């Protein structure tokens, strides 16, 4: 092993133990959010093969949330047993079950994250391009970052780090499927996108990463139009309550915009709020880039 590779491994271990700092890839490197240490992204090293050892060091609600959101559009596998359904609703759910929705509809997308800690009157914002690398891991090209340092480090960076780690976790344990949830038909809902069907979802078991709420499905495509609810089990003793609401704007059956609202009530800093807006990325003629090192 070269001295550079050894230094990178030791640096990662030191940051993780001493700083409790989730790292995340940017332009082919990891960066510690506490000390700023940079080292190579080990896509082919043993760390990728054994992610569970690092996951337990994240003391936040973001990892189970991100895994849940990533699984929300994945193919559910087998048909769900629905209580009090109608023919149209059953057909929509069957299309959803068949995997009409996609986990990630875009290989490259623009991401805007607006975060705040209302109790501390602090805010932060990030605008970036997210691309999917081999093995499904996301990489961020930061275009703009502004706001209070606490929000950037404790809220935005943690969310991005959770996204990277979630890519290595099987989503089947938290996916909105018949294996994990009971579906109950609530009725049709008329939206500006047309007719959708609402189902209440209740976990079979009270496990981390599952929510109690509603799933709205487009009748024509089976795509998820809206997912909202509250987590049934806190991922940390420092987290009191977690709410989420994700809405997807469809145009001619194709996802154009996806907006996710997260509200996390903590015991230390009060309420943390995030709004994540995602759209397909279209390359402009010129692009102003800003890296983490420049912030």
Digit-coded pLDDT (tens) for 24-36: 554 455 566 556 6
Tell me the Ramachandran region of residue 253: left when phi exceeds 0, alpha when psi lies from -120 to 50, beta otherwise.
left
Among positive and negative, which fits the CA dihedral 236, 239, 243, 244? negative
> What's the mean per-residue pLDDT of the chain?
75
What mean pLDDT comes out for the span 8-19?
A: 48
Are 73 and 226 in contact, with CB atoms under 8 Å apart? Answer: no
pLDDT of residue 173: 81
Give the pLDDT mean for 214-241: 90
Phi-psi region of 237 (alpha: psi -120 to 50; beta: other; left: phi over 0): alpha
Q: How confident is the model at residue 287 (pLDDT cuts 50, 70, 90)?
A: very low
pLDDT for the residue numbered 261: 96
pLDDT value of position 76 = 47
**What is the distance between the alpha carbons of residues 23 and 15, in angstroms, rounded to a whole number?**
9
Give, in degrees to the nearest 5, the angle at Cα 156 between 155 and 157: 100
- Residue 2 vs residue 112, higher pLDDT: 112
- Exposed e or buried b per residue across 224-235, where buried means at least 16 C-beta atoms within 10 angstroms of its C-beta: bbbbbbebbebb
User: pLDDT band for position 139 (50/70/90)?
Assistant: confident
Q: Which of 18, 5, 35 is nearest to 293 (CA)?
A: 35
If you compute the radius of gyration of the chain from its CA atoms, what whole number of angstroms results? Answer: 20
242-259 average pLDDT score: 90
Q: Contact, 66 vs 171, CB < 8 A?
A: no
CA-to-CA separations, 17 to 25, 26, 38, 47, 67, in angstroms, rounded: 18, 21, 16, 15, 24
Please choose, from the candidates 112, 202, 102, 115, the residue with its C-alpha nearest in 3D space to the C-alpha of residue 151: 115
Tell me the pLDDT band of 23, cut-offs 50, 70 and 90.
Answer: very low
Residue 171 reports pLDDT greater than 80: no
Least Cα distance to 292 among 24, 22, 41 occurs for: 24
Cα separations in angstroms, 131 against 62, 192, 211: 20, 30, 28
Residue 138's pLDDT band (boundaries 50, 70, 90)? Answer: confident
CB 255 within 8 A of CB 248: yes
């Amino acid at each position: 092993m070269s001295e550079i590779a050894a230094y990178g491994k030791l640096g990662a271990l030191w940051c993780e133990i001493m700083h409790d700092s989730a790292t995340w890839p940017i332009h082919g490197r990891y960066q510690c959010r506490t000390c700023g240490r940079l080292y190579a992204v080990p896509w082919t090293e043993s760390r990728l093969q054994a992610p569970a050892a690092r996951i337990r060091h994240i003391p936040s609600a973001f990892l189970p949330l991100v895994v849940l959101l990533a699984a929300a559009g994945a193919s559910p596998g087998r048909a769900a047993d629905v209580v009090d359904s109608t023919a149209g609703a059953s057909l929509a759910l069957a299309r959803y079950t068949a995997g009409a929705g996609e986990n990630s509809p875009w290989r490259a997308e623009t991401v805007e994250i607006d975060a705040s800690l209302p109790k501390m009157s602090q805010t932060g914002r990030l605008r970036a391009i997210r691309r999917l690398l081999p093995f499904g891991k996301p990489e961020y090209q930061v275009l703009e970052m502004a706001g209070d340092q606490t929000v950037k480090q404790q809220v935005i960076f943690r969310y991005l780090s959770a996204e990277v780690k979630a890519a290595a976790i099987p989503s089947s344990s938290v996916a909105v499927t018949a294996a994990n949830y009971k579906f109950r038909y609530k009725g049709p809902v008329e939206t500006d996108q047309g007719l959708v069907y609402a189902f209440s979802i209740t976990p079979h078991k009270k496990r981390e990463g599952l929510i109690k709420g509603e799933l709205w499905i487009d009748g024509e495509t089976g795509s998820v139009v809206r997912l909202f609810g509250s987590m049934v089990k806190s991922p940390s003793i420092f987290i009191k309550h977690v709410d989420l609401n994700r809405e997807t704007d469809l145009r001619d059956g194709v996802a154009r915009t996806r907006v996710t609202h997260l509200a996390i009530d903590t015991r230390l800093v009060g309420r943390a709020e995030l709004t994540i807006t995602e759209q397909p990325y279209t390359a402009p003629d010129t692009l102003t880039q800003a890296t983490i090192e420049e912030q």
